[in-house]
Amino acid sequence: MTATFYSEESANRRNSFLLALVVIAFLGLLGFAIGYSIGYANGDPVLWAIGALIIAVLFGVLSALASFYRGDQLVLASSQAQEIGPQQAPALFNVVNEMAVAAGVPMPKVYIIEDPSPNAFATGRDPQHSSVAITSGLLSKLNREELQGVIGHEMSHIRNYDIRFTLIVGVLVGSIALLAQIFLRYTFWFGGGRRSNNDNNSGGGGLAVIFLVVGIVMAILAPIFTTLVQMAVSRQREYLADASSVELTRNPHGLESALAKLAADNESLHSANGATQHLYIVNPLKKLGGGSALFSTHPPIVDRINRLRQLTGDSPMDPTEVRQLTGLE
């Protein structure tokens, strides 16, 4: 079983790293196309293109650094999470401490979100500066074994540095969307840096038009591309954290039962939004992942449960169990 955990961790880390490189490459290409089309109107498109590429990448890096140091506090504030002490929830603190010891990480700060919808997330820049947030609904609806599975999942995000990765990737894809909007507005108001008709007959005019078209297409597709990247990164990390949670608790049935309860619960998490939904253990806006799985921040819960069963050699969910889980009977 240990070999299975390590192989799953290795595959997901590699895929997530490659996705991050794709995001940065797209950011650079978008900057290059923007710079070339603007620079053509100013007489030196290559210089402008290189400068815009450097600025685009630096903008993404600086945004990621800002997120690195303050992003977790913004997430917790937007989620209306309140820090608590061991006196307020001794059973919860006991489980969190237990899972922190198992994961070999420092005890994170603990936050409560007053909401009946059962859910949880972890955030922070590293294990030494981490936090876990749990809804009041999670505490009231899960037993200790299920709570261990959920906290083990979140502690795995902390141990595996998923908390840092998701903050940085989230800002990078946001940078792409922002640059795309700037370019589209520039093109609309200033014509994308067009020169006079005589200048457009010169040799560089055709290339400038090509870069202008490429830039516009990339800018239009940027929101779709960034959404797909963010969703894919999040799904990979959820599979990894599920497997790692079983490694920490040595009890796959606790997390499996918790996921089933979270899927069946119909309460809405009012403090969640599109910017933070990917952080939670299950999507607070779309728990069952209805519709296209391509645009879901999380893998379908049925798939997650079946992967947990595969790790332990159990049979996958049969059609009756699936119908019960999704409320079809």
177: containing domain: 2-70+170-222
Catalytic residue among 154, 238, 247, 256: 154
Q: Is residue 116 part of a domain?
A: yes
- Of the given ranges (7-11, 20-24, 54-58, 86-90), which has the lowest mean pLDDT? 7-11
273 and 307: one domain? yes
215 and 320: one domain? no
The total of structural domains in the chain comes to 2
Q: Are 285 and 117 in contact (CB under 8 A)?
A: no
Query: Residue 163 and residue 125: Cα distance in Å, rounded?
Result: 6
pLDDT in tens, 229-265: 667 667 778 888 998 999 899 998 999 999 999 988 8
Q: Is residue 227 part of a domain?
A: no
239 and 301: one domain? yes
Sign of CA dihedral 82, 87, 91, 97: positive
155 and 274: one domain? yes
Q: Are 216 and 188 in contact (CB under 8 A)?
A: no
48 and 125: one domain? no
238 and 319: one domain? yes
13 and 120: one domain? no
92 and 156: one domain? yes
- Of the given ranges (16-30, 53-67, 239-253), which has the lowest mean pLDDT? 16-30
Query: Residue 23 and residue 173: Cα distance in Å, rounded?
Result: 7
Q: Is residue 15 part of a domain?
A: yes
150 and 253: one domain? yes
pLDDT in tens, 274-327: 778 888 999 887 654 444 555 677 888 888 999 998 877 888 888 877 777 765
Q: Is residue 278 part of a domain?
A: yes
287 and 301: one domain? yes
- Of the given ranges (94-98, 157-161, 222-226, 266-270), which has the lowest mean pLDDT? 222-226
Structure tokens at 223: 């929101």
Q: Is residue 228 part of a domain?
A: no
Structure tokens at 295: 């645009």
pLDDT at 113 over 60: yes
Predicted local confidence at residue 325, as pLDDT: 73
Structure tokens at 271: 């403090």
Query: Residue 123 and residue 165: Cα distance in Å, rounded?
Result: 10
Closest Cα to residue 15, out of 236, 255, 321, 276?
236
- CATH assignment of the domain containing 138: 3.30.2010.10
215 and 105: one domain? no
Q: Is residue 229 part of a domain?
A: no
pTM of this prediction?
0.76
Phi, psi dihedral angles at 215 (to 5 degrees): -60, -45
Q: Is residue 194 part of a domain?
A: yes
Instruction: Spell out the residues 6+ positions from residue 16 whose beta carbon is closer than 8 angstroms to its own.
Output: 165, 233, 236, 237
Active site residue 247: no
120 and 139: one domain? yes
Identify residue 299 by its one-letter amino acid code.
Answer: P
Q: Is residue 133 part of a domain?
A: yes
Phi, psi dihedral angles at 75 (to 5 degrees): -65, -45
Interaxial angle between packed helices 252-264 and 301-312, expressed in degrees from 0 to 180 and rounded to the nearest 10: 170
